[in-house]
């Protein structure tokens, strides 16, 4: 029981010297976080990639800036201290921070891909770093369960449904949306 109690502690992040307290995430939030972490690490292990996905780990920049992203992907042919991909799973209490100050700070430190996952709408928005150290919206992916697809009447709309995608930084990895949102419905 001690491990569970430790996980429930309030976490903090510090951005530009201001401390932000974060409540423990919901079960759905944790499920998506765990699913993505497994997708990444299973792929890395199977393909002998020098990469690792970490969750609930600190990203320390300096004494005025430290974060605890939901997922960080590190590849060891790049700068070992800066993740290649950061994923934030939205919560009501962190939405503005994730889409505002954190997004800006992640861009400033050079994280190439920033994913915003909304488990409520079962969607993933991907932002890519520009040469100006700012994020530009790249694509949005939404998961449609079979019961949702059956409601779509137009064949053209059905053809538009994307079931999987690949990270820009790792085009050989296929991320299936049904795996990301497994057990969240």
Domains along the sequence of the chain with CATH: 12-180 (3.90.1570.10)
- Core vs surface per residue 119-152: b (16+ CB within 10 A) or e: beebbbbbbbbeeeeebeeeeebebbeeeeeeee
Q: What is the pLDDT of residue 104?
A: 96
pTM, two decimal places: 0.86
Q: What is the pLDDT of residue 78?
A: 63
The H or E element spanning position 54 is strand 51-54
Spatial contact of 176 and 185, defined as CB atoms under 8 Å apart: no
Q: Distance between CA atoms of 40 and 43, rounded to whole angstroms?
A: 5
Digits of tens for pLDDT over the chain (185 positions)?
344 444 456 788 999 999 998 888 899 999 999 999 999 999 999 999 999 999 988 999 999 999 999 999 999 876 668 999 999 999 888 889 999 999 999 999 999 999 999 999 999 999 999 999 999 999 999 987 644 545 555 554 544 567 899 999 999 999 999 999 998 86
Spatial contact of 102 and 67, defined as CB atoms under 8 Å apart: yes
């Amino acid at each position: 029981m001690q491990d569970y109690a430790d996980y429930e502690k309030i976490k903090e992040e510090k951005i530009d010297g201001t401390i932000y307290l974060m409540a423990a995430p919901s079960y759905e939030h944790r499920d998506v976080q765990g699913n993505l972490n497994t997708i990444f690490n299973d792929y890395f292990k199977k393909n002998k990639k020098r990469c690792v996905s970490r969750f609930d780990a600190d990203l320390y920049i300096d004494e005025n800036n430290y974060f605890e992203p939901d997922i960080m992907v590190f590849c060891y042919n790049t700068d070992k201290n800066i993740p290649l991909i950061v994923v934030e799973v939205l919560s009501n209490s962190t939405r503005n921070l994730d889409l505002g100050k954190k997004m800006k700070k992640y861009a400033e430190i050079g994280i190439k891909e920033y994913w915003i996952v909304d488990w409520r709408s079962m969607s993933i928005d991907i932002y890519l770093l520009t040469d100006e150290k700012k994020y530009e919206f790249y694509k949005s992916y939404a998961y449609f369960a079979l019961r949702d697809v059956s409601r779509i009447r137009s064949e053209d709309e059905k053809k538009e449904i994307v079931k999987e995608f690949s990270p820009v930084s790792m085009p050989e990895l296929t991320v299936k949306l049904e795996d990301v949102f497994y057990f969240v419905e």
